[in-house]
A = this chain, B = another copy of it.
Amino acid sequence: MQIEPQSFDRVLSSMCTAPHPVAREAAERFLATNPGDPGTYPNVAALEKDAIATLGEIAGLEDPSGYVASGGTEANIQAIRIARDRAETRTPNVVMPESGHFSFQKAADVLGVELRIVPTDDDFRADLEAVRSCVDAETAMVVGVAGTTEYGRVDPIPELGEIARSVGALLHVDAAWGGFVLPFTDHEWHFGHAAVDTMAIDPHKMGQAAVPAGGLLVRSDHLLDELAVDTPYLESTSQATLTGTRSGAGVASAVAAMDELWPDGYRQQYVRSQHNAEWLADALEKRGYDVVDPTLPLVAADLPRSTFDALRDEGWRISRTGTGELRVVCMPHVTREMLASFIGDLDRLEVRASVPVVSDD
């Protein structure tokens, strides 16, 4: 098989990154294990408990329940499933800001739940008034995002928790990307700050673990039990995960990465990534682009479509927001040199674009 994966040299579009060397080593060592079968693979099943304990520490939850999921999408689906199955109504709804990740639409489709999407405010955060007007007696869950996909914003999580409580709904926080940088900021986003019931927090994003290693954290065992389907198997009486066979490589890499990097390595990484994002935002602003000032290590700016396409043609992997802005995610593999090279190419392409074509006749 001759194909090689492409390098990370020009990847500015991904919320995943190169796994940390200790995470890679652990993934390779545990490649042939399956934590979904704890009777056969007890060692990696034990490691998963370690992973959840550390995720709980990161997310301000003292006695965490949860598991290492295939990714944030599964964590989000399972959170909505907990809410749906706990709700008394047969027509539950979930209220979410428009900045919520696409996986909530997938969850609503899979689970047969109504998803109510409310506007964000001028700073791309959940509009609390809109959320308050939208929830009702059949609301099973309110979703807040801690590190939004498009703008890296943090919703007002404590207030969203109060709104959820006021209608007897659960609060789910999607910190899939933000969870490994937010501990080093002043934002209020986790179980210790607010009435959070469930959370998505992915080691395989800013946590630098190998894919697949997402995380679902749940405040209590009885909530997690809503997911349990009785099994006929010898070693486990019920299974709360969405998948069956699971990747031990992902679990082991999550433990190895967190052992190595929490908290100091992650703190250093946050500082470096945030500085990179601010440098990029500044460079783009100087060049006259409208830039969404980075709260977290993610930058959005209104590049013209033609410039965007030209940069992609140069090999830059970049994303666009729903309203067409450039989006750059400053992951651990993104260096200042890469960003400088990106800006250099941007300058060169803009010059070329602004030079009129001269005909010779």
| A-to-B contact residues, CB < 8 Å | 1, 3-6, 8, 11, 13-19, 22, 24, 26-34, 37, 39-44, 46-47, 70-74, 77, 81, 102-103, 105-106, 109-112, 202, 204, 210-212, 214, 229-234, 239, 242-250, 252, 255-256, 259, 317, 319-320, 322
Are A256 and B212 in contact (CB-based, < 8 A)?
no
Q: Given A110-B242, A243-B74, answer yes or no on A210-B31 (Cβ-Cβ < 8 Å).
A: yes
Residue of B nearest to A231 (CB): B102
Among B13, B248, B256, which residue has its beta carbon within 8 angstroms of that of A5?
B248
A-B contact sample (14 more), CB < 8 A, given A72-B244, A102-B239: A5-B43, A6-B43, A8-B32, A11-B40, A14-B41, A16-B32, A40-B317, A70-B245, A71-B246, A106-B229, A106-B244, A112-B112, A210-B249, A212-B212
Among B102, B110, B211, B244, which residue has its beta carbon within 8 angstroms of that of A233?
B102
Q: Within the assembled complex, what's the spacing in Å between the Cα atoms of A41 and B317? A: 9
Are A232 and B102 in contact (CB-based, < 8 A)?
yes
Q: Collect the chain B residues with CB atoms within 8 Å of residue A15's CB.
A: 245
Are A244 and B317 in contact (CB-based, < 8 A)?
no
Among B6, B73, B204, B250, which residue has its beta carbon within 8 angstroms of that of A41?
B6
Q: Collect the chain B residues with CB atoms within 8 Å of residue A28's CB.
A: 28, 31
Q: Within the assembled complex, what's the spacing in Å between the Cα atoms of A17 and B255? A: 23
A144 to chain B, nearest CB (A): 19
Q: How many copies does the complex hold?
A: 2
Q: Collect the chain B residues with CB atoms within 8 Å of residue A11's CB.
A: 40
Q: Given A70-B212, A110-B110, answer yes or no on A34-B14 (Cβ-Cβ < 8 Å).
A: yes
Residue of B nearest to A244 (CB): B73
Q: Within the assembled complex, what's the spacing in Å between the Cα atoms of A6 and B46? A: 12
A97 to chain B, nearest CB (A): 14
Are A245 and B73 in contact (CB-based, < 8 A)?
yes
Are B8 and A103 in contact (CB-based, < 8 A)?
no
Q: Within the assembled complex, what's the spacing in Å between the Cα atoms of A262 and B11? A: 35
Residue of B nearest to A84 (CB): B112
Are A1 and B256 in contact (CB-based, < 8 A)?
yes
Q: Given A26-B1, A229-B102, answer yes or no on A246-B32 (Cβ-Cβ < 8 Å).
A: no
Are A42 and B232 in contact (CB-based, < 8 A)?
no
Q: Within the assembled complex, what's the spacing in Å between the Cα atoms of A24 and B233? A: 29
Are A244 and B103 in contact (CB-based, < 8 A)?
yes
Q: Given A106-B229, A259-B1, answer yes or no on A247-B211 (Cβ-Cβ < 8 Å).
A: yes
A42 to chain B, nearest CB (A): 7
Q: Collect the chain B residues with CB atoms within 8 Å of residue A29's CB.
A: 4-5
Among B4, B103, B110, B211, which residue has its beta carbon within 8 angstroms of that of A246?
B211
Residue of B nearest to A212 (CB): B247
Q: Collect the chain B residues with CB atoms within 8 Å of residue A255's CB.
A: 1
Q: Within the assembled complex, what's the spacing in Å between the Cα atoms of A287 and B243? A: 39
Q: Given A102-B231, A242-B110, answer yes or no on A4-B72 (Cβ-Cβ < 8 Å).
A: no
A208 to chain B, nearest CB (A): 10
